[in-house]
């Protein structure tokens, strides 16, 4: 299946405008009908371009056929400015699979390998992907944090600015994920005053000024959602996200894509916990799943408006 048949576009067009107008396109992770619907609804309400991100484990959870069926059902058109992106593809085979089933963009994450092996693996994916007009994101440096099924580096290594020019010219990638202090999951910072490494970001942006940069592990972890979860039976302590002022500042420094998964997980969980608590007699999942969907839509809209700055940007010819 070619992604254009699904009304999708690749990320190059999205990033060109984001780089030009200094905002970030949100990449929200989805794993079922509710998350997909929430992300698409929010993007349409806010007139924001959006990247639907699907991890390898989410793809396994939904199956490729279910995912593509749901994407078709969403009746996306190129005017929506939506890309379907493989998040953290581990090797060439998973990237090729994603491309063959209808993704418009892939990430090859070979950041755990040596620089030369990262280059070789990334290059192989780029050569295949570009033949199909698919955009490719790669990563330099490693983020800390552990996700459900795959382990990311538990110790983070910031991206070395000295590596970026060589990496970009050797691979011909379309965007680069960098490590400047963000991390996956809900426990990103021990203290409120921890800052992202803006000096590293500035150094990278000067060296590769035309290349869109990507921030993974960039959830804001709204404390209101944590409080709701804990109020209604959850037990999450010490969760802290990336400060929204710092995220906004990053969008002015060539960060064109900001990845968010944990915030939607929290919005989903908070809504379900509250609903089950408030109406203990109810056992109709459609009731609490629609509340979860509405809560995730609102979280997406808030972040589009107050963090990404991507609202009212679907018309790329607008001022
Ligand atoms: O960065 C990765 C995402 O948060 C996906 O996590 O593999 O649990 O779907 P997942
Ligand atoms: P968060 O865990 O901060 O939401 O990061 C998501 C992510 O980077 C997906 O690739
Ligand atoms: Zn990530």
Residue pLDDT, tens place only, 125-149: 999 999 999 999 999 999 876 433 4
Lowest-confidence segment of 40-44, 176-180, 188-192, 214-218 by average pLDDT: 188-192
- With bands split at pLDDT 50, 70 and 90, how would you rate the model's confidence at 152? very low
Q: Which of 64, 110, 56 is nearest to 86 (CA)?
A: 56
- Give the C-alpha separation, 137 to 164, whole Å: 13
Q: For all residues of the chain together, what is the average pLDDT? A: 95
Q: Which of 70, 89, 72, 73 is nearest to 134 (CA)?
A: 89
Q: Which of 154, 20, 145, 30 is nearest to 82 (CA)?
A: 30
Identify the active-site residue in 87, 109, 174, 261.
Answer: 87
- Give the C-alpha separation, 301 to 41, whole Å: 9
Per 3-state DSSP, the chain is made up of helix, strand and coil in percentages (nearest 5) of 50, 15, 35
| pLDDT score for 191 | 82
| Residue ranges around ligand 2 (CB below 6 Å) | 29, 87-88, 184-185, 216-219, 259-262
Structural domains of the chain ordered from first start: 3-308 (3.20.20.70)
- Give the C-alpha separation, 194 to 136, whole Å: 31
Identify whether 37 is a catalytic site residue: no
Q: Is the pLDDT of residue 37 over 50?
A: yes
Q: From the CB of 117, is ligand 1 less than 6 Å away?
A: no
Q: Tell me the pTM.
A: 0.96
Query: Which residue CA neighbors atom 8 of ligand 1 most closely?
Result: 148
Query: Which residue CA neighbors atom 3 of ligand 2 most closely?
Result: 217
Q: From the CB of 85, is ligand 1 less than 6 Å away?
A: no
- With bands split at pLDDT 50, 70 and 90, how would you rate the model's confidence at 83? very high
Strands (DSSP E) along 236-288, which ranges? 255-260
Q: Is the pLDDT of residue 233 over 80?
A: yes
Share of the chain above pLDDT 90, in %: 92
Residue pLDDT, tens place only, 184-225: 999 998 887 889 999 999 999 999 999 999 999 999 999 999
- Give the C-alpha separation, 56 to 94, whole Å: 8
Q: Which atom of ligand 2 is nearest to the CA of 145?
A: 2
| pLDDT score for 264 | 98
Residue 187 makes CB contacts below 8 A (sequence gap 6+) with 145, 238, 239, 240
| pLDDT score for 154 | 54
């Amino acid at each position: 299946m070619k992604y254009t048949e699904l009304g999708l576009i690749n990320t190059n067009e999205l990033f060109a405008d984001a780089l030009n107008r200094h905002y970030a396109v949100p990449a929200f992770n989805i794993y079922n009908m509710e998350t997909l619907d929430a992300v698409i609804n929010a993007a349409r309400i806010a007139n924001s371009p959006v990247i639907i991100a699907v991890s390898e484990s989410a793809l396994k959870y939904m199956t490729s056929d279910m995912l593509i069926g749901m994407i078709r059902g969403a009746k996306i058109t190129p005017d929506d400015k939506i890309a379907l992106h493989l998040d953290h593809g581990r090797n060439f085979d998973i990237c090729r699979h994603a491309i063959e089933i209808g993704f418009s963009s892939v990430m090859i994450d070979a950041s755990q390998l040596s620089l030369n092996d990262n280059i070789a693996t990334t290059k192989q994916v780029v050569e295949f992907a570009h033949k199909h007009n698919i955009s490719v994101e790669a990563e330099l440096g490693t983020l800390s944090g552990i996700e459900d099924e795959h382990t990311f580096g538990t110790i983070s290594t910031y991206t070395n600015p000295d590596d970026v020019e060589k990496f970009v010219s050797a691979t011909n990638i379309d965007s680069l994920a960098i490590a400047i202090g963000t991390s996956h999951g809900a426990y990103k910072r021990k203290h409120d005053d921890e800052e992202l490494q803006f000096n590293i970001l500035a150094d990278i942006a000067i060296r590769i000024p035309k290349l869109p940069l990507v921030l993974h592990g960039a959830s804001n972890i709204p404390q209101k959602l944590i409080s709701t979860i804990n109020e209604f039976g959850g037990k999450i302590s010490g969760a802290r996200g990336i400060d929204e002022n710092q995220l906004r500042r990053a969008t002015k420094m060539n960060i064109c894509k900001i990845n968010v998964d944990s915030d939607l997980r929290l919005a989903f969980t908070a809504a379900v916990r509250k609903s089950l608590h408030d109406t203990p007699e109810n056992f109709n999942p459609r009731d609490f799943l629609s509340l979860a969907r509405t809560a995730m839509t609102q979280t997406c809209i808030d972040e589009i408006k107050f963090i990404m700055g991507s609202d009212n940007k679907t018309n790329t010819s607008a001022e």
